[in-house]
Amino acid sequence: MEWQKIYEERKMSAEEAIKLIHSGDRVVLGHAVGVPIAITDVLADHKDDYENVEIVQMVSMGNARFAEPDMEGHFRLNSLFLGGHTKAAVKEGRGDFTPCCFSEVPQLLEETLPIDVAIIQVSAPDKNGYVSCGVSVDYTLPAARSAKKVIAQVNKQMPRTLGDTALHVAEIDSFVEIDHPVIELGLPKIGDVEKAIGENCAKLVKDGDTLQLGIGAIPDAVLLFLKEKKDLGIHSEMISDGVVELIESGVITNAKKTLHPGKTVVTFLMGTQRLYDYADDNQAVAMYPVDYVNDPYVVGQNDNLVSINSCVQVDLMGQVASESVGLTQISGIGGQVDFIRGARLSKGGRSIIAIASTAAKGKISKIVPFLDEGAAVTTSRTDVDYVVTEYGIAKLRGRTLRDRARSLIEIAHPDFRPGLVQEFEDRFHCKY
Binding residues vs ligand COA (CB under 6 A): 214-216, 237-238, 309-313, 322-323, 325, 330-331, 334-336, 359-360, 364, 366
Name the minimum Å distance from CB 363 to ligand COA: 9
DSSP H stretches of helix in 147-258:
192-202, 217-224, 241-248
Which residue is catalytic, options 54, 104, 237, 323? Answer: 237
Between 59 and 154, CB nearer to ligand COA: 59
Query: In degrees rounded to 5, what are phi and psi of residue 24?
Result: 85, -5
Give the C-alpha separation, 37 to 29, whole Å: 9
C-beta of 216 vs 348, nearer to ligand COA: 216
Nearest-approach distance from CB 129 to ligand COA, in angstroms: 33
> Which CB atom, from 74 or from 344, has the smaller least distance to ligand COA?
344
- Establish whether 237 is a catalytic residue: yes
Instruction: Specify the 3-state DSSP secondary structure of 87.
Output: helix
- The closest alpha carbon to 71, from 50, 102, 100, belongs to 50
Euclidean distance between CA atoms 375 and 218, whole angstroms: 22
**What minimum distance in Å lies between the beta carbon of 312 and ligand COA?**
4
Q: Go through the chain and tell me how many residues it has.
A: 432
Based on CB atoms, which residue is closest to ligand COA, 158 or 266?
266
Q: Shortest gap between Cβ of 131 and ligand COA (angstroms)? A: 26
Least distance in Å: CB of 83 to ligand COA? Answer: 8
Residue 324 φ then ψ, to 5°: -140, 150
CB contact set of 423 (below 8 Å; sequence gap of 6+): 316, 369
Nearer to ligand COA, 159 or 214 (CB): 214
Residue from 130, 124, 134, 132 nearest 154 by CA: 124
Angle, to 10 degrees, between the axis of helix 401-410 and the axis of helix 417-428? 170
Contacts of 300 (CB under 8 A, 6+ apart): 341, 342, 343, 344, 345, 346, 349
Question: Which residues are annotated as catalytic?
Answer: 237
